[in-house]
Chains A and B, each alone.
Chain A
């Protein structure tokens, strides 16, 4: 089975802090995605990556950056956390290019105070 893990289930940070959210998948998947999920808004794509060191902006990239130095790991970075970034963050991966089935991690609930 594909396993997608995220570094923390719950995280509390202060405004202005730099925040790293880590995601690791163990099935040699090409694509990896970062979403945020807010009540009533569904899932919104922040960034995705289709290869090592390759990234593309999603629908709401402002205030975020990403890093993919190794195929299995995709990091989401909040350079200076703000209260409006309090949310559930979900990582996902797919085997290859194309709009295929996505495998999700358990999510990180981030609170920014």
Chain B
């Protein structure tokens, strides 16, 4: 299977804490993307990092990419109860329209 993997599968934290999710992928990539999914809904794109970038920020989100280890991490700082959702990474390769999604991390933020 080409599917990516994420860990942890589930994460529970208190409001105000930071949440870190990790993603590993298997092929050479053009970019790595992170998506969020609220329960029973569609996915929403959060951030895209290109293969020649090492770190990217967007608001309270920080994404890192290590192509030598084929891994990425998503850090959500100062988490809020509204951040409760599942988070998926997706790798995009050259010469393809497809993304390969990871299995997701379920984040629960307690008020």
Q: Which residues of A are in contact with B by a Cβ distance under 8 Å?
A: 4, 31, 33, 35, 40-45, 48, 50, 58-59, 88, 90, 92, 94, 97-107, 109
Contacts and interface: CB of A to CB of B under 8 A. Distances in A.
A103 B48 CA distance: 13
B45 interface: yes
A104 B88 contact: no
Given A31-B97, A94-B97, A99 B42 contact: no
Contacts of B43: 43, 90, 92, 102, 104
Contact of B44 (A58, A97, A99, A104): A104
Nearest to A10: B40
B31 interface: yes
A42 B99 contact: no
Contact of B97 (A35, A44, A50, A104): A50
Interface string B62-102: 00000000000000000000000000101111101111011
Contacts of B48: 101
Contacts of B108: none
Contacts of B60: none
Contact of A40 (B4, B91, B101, B103): B103
B97 A97 contact: yes
Contact of A48 (B31, B45, B91, B97): B97
Contacts of A50: 97
A97 B98 CA distance: 9
